[in-house]
Amino acid sequence: MTALIMNCSPVRTGATAEISGIIADRLSSRYEVKSVCIDDYSFAFCKGCRTCHKTAECVMHDDIDRIMDEFGKADIIICVAPSYWADIPGQFKAFIDRCTPWCNTHEPHAAISTGKKGYAVALRTGPSMRECERIIGSIEHFYGHLEIECAGHLGLCSIEYKENVAPRKDEIIKFCENI
């Protein structure tokens, strides 16, 4: 089985990457793990043309196709997203918008293989879990439209820098035991 871990932050070496790395390390004994960072890909914003509602294909062909190939190959998808103004980063939101061809709210629509499980991990600098819940909600909403089963989530508050991750490592490892 394959696990795809997506660092949804544009920062390749920060706290989100640190958490993604812990998850990848923990899962590597049970799964073939592929880790990606949203910033490793180049893609344009959705133009809102709705052509994909008729063709099940985007008029633009860029790295969205590569990312969705990875989604298609994975049995488990784990999106790890930091808070940017109380929600997911703009780069991740732009990615989600471009996934409209695979969205189950219109016919025809493209589809990734069925039976996938999705996990959401949210982190933020402040102490309130409410913001993490909003991020988790965004990720799980996205999963729902791709028909990925929401199988679990983790919210981590008071994490600004990767140095803040080490004291929370046991909590992250415990979360990984349920994947």
Question: How confident is the model over 16-37, as pLDDT tens digits?
Answer: 999 999 999 999 999 999 999 9
Contact (CB, 8 A) for 120 and 139: yes
pLDDT for res 112 = 94
pTM: 0.97
Q: How many domains does the chain contain in total?
A: 1
Specify the pLDDT at position 171: 98
Across all residues in the chain, what is the average pLDDT? 97
**CATH number, domain containing residue 152:** 3.40.50.360
Beta strands in 38-126 (DSSP E): 76-82, 117-123
Q: Identify the CA nearest to 77 among candidates 160, 148, 163, 155.
A: 148
Look up residue 147 and give its two tokens.
Answer: 């028909």
Burial of 20 (0-12, 13-18, 19+ CB in 10 A): buried
Structure tokens, 90: 């703009």
pLDDT, position 52: 95
**Domain carrying residue 103:** 2-176
Q: What is the pLDDT of residues 48-69, one digit of tens each?
A: 999 999 999 999 999 999 999 9
Closest CA to 42 of 89, 87, 100, 95: 95
